Structure 1
């Protein structure tokens, strides 16, 4: 099926491993095979609301058993990026425990007073007061960082405004565009590769979205697998100016490649 040897794996979570809390076909077996063969791997998500511990518990309830250290969120990637940029810096953060915990564990001080960065993440309760504070801090010189560019997020009632939408409002008020760390920025993939000490030449990315997972995988130099269990359908692939290395029905097709 493939010419390049695959020694390490990166995989998206929603639409690849799970859908609305239920494991997708082949997902438990895929992760079990990775662990049994001691393959380096990380599960990636742009969701910055939850900690890796939270997500590990959510995956476990769907029958997918992964260690906490095998989950890489946009919040963790953002915290790592800031730690590399300004070690021991400070940030004003808008987000949930996934973001604030990651920043704290990266050695960052969370403050409303002259922070190095304003960091915008996902939350279900965006506060007008907090957004106003962020705008004033950015105008005062703080650098503007966002965990991910997603403009909407899912809920049972329908789409919710997400980080990208709120970032656009802050940009309109400040004239400052943020740096987005999460997918489709290949920065998130490179930080993931560093996390598991893997090389792009022998790593594959499994995703369900052409516009985030596949394009970022290509830009990071990875072999890419598009699964058709999520956002992108087979008929959509030809609409893009780039192509995944392989298109498969589901992650069940990849268990034997591990």
Structure 2
């Protein structure tokens, strides 16, 4: 039977890998998709690594990938801002994307304050961010993930830092990443696919599936990361499918 979907948009952390470790079955499944002519793009809320680093990790598992098939919140945030200056609460991947866009990074009179994961976050950074926002800088968050899956368990995500700046500034951010649909819209524009022929695969019900619902795309909640069946409660985003692992996902994508 011909596969229903021509394009897959896969999350990374908790879906394809956890820390440095491949999620079991991910590489074999993605290679099978590529062989069958199904395009696989990788769409991540993580901003702290460049696309080149992501590609290097995927290639280490034997997953075919080019830079153009990786969509990160760092790239999307840079394109959203377009130009000007920004104070960055974040890491190398985000700063690189902003600089490549021609955005000047500064801690004085910035046009925008961009907040993301920052493992060196401090009170001084919080104070600087809030004071700039008080002065009129636009408050932009790459994403608001409360936590993410790594090799040894769950760790706080960008959302914890965004919450600190939100509380300290009294302002709400413009959110670039999932559960907003912008990243998926960018991915579809890159590959020329339509929502009807695209399947979203992710482990986070609130972000991955939430964005798919807003974008009008079918989705699979893959139970390899942060969300579980107990999270499927009234009021939560509703995935089209739920899969325990990549074997179950393959049965959805390649029906008998």
TM-score relative to the length of structure 1: 0.86
User: How much does 1:151 deviate?
Assistant: 2.9
Please list, as runs of the form range in 1=range in 2, the aligned pairs for 1:161-176 lying within 5 A after superposition.
Answer: 161-176=156-171
What is the aligned partner in structure 1 of residue 24 from structure 2?
25
Kept after mapping to 1: 8 A contact 2:199/2:217: yes
Please list, as runs of the form range in 1=range in 2, the aligned pairs for 1:21-170 lying within 5 A after superposition.
Answer: 21-83=20-82, 88-153=83-148, 160-170=155-165
Moved over 6 A (4+): 155-158
In 1, Cα distance between the equivalents of 2:229 and 2:146? 24
Q: Which moved more, 1:35-44 or 1:115-124?
A: 35-44
What is the aligned partner in structure 1 of residue 9 from structure 2?
10
| Long gaps (5+) in structure 2 | none
Kept after mapping to 1: 8 A contact 2:19/2:149: no
User: How much does 1:91 deviate?
Assistant: 1.2
152 and 173 in structure 1: CA distance in 2 versus 1, 3 angstrom threshold: same
Where 1:123 maps in the other structure, the secondary structure is coil
Q: Tell whether 2:218 aligns with 1:223.
A: yes
- Residues 206-238 of structure 1 show CA distances to partners (whole Å, capped at 9, x for unaligned) of 111211111211110111112222222234434
In 2, Cα distance between the equivalents of 1:209 and 1:161? 14
- Residues 62-112 of structure 1 show CA distances to partners (whole Å, capped at 9, x for unaligned) of 3434222222122122122222xxxx2221112111101111222322223
Where 1:129 maps in the other structure, the secondary structure is helix
In 1, Cα distance between the equivalents of 2:237 and 2:155? 29
What is the aligned partner in structure 2 of residue 192 from structure 1?
187
Kept after mapping to 2: 8 A contact 1:44/1:72: yes
What is the aligned partner in structure 1 of residue 206 from structure 2?
211
User: How much does 1:255 deviate?
Assistant: 4.1
158 and 229 in structure 1: CA distance in 2 versus 1, 3 angstrom threshold: closer
How many aligned residue pairs are there? 253
In 1, Cα distance between the equivalents of 2:149 and 2:13? 11
Q: Which moved more, 1:96-105 or 1:188-197?
A: 188-197
Where 2:43 maps in the other structure, the secondary structure is strand
Q: Tell whether 2:232 aligns with 1:237.
A: yes
In 1, Cα distance between the equivalents of 2:249 and 2:150? 29
183 and 136 in structure 1: CA distance in 2 versus 1, 3 angstrom threshold: same
Kept after mapping to 2: 8 A contact 1:95/1:123: yes
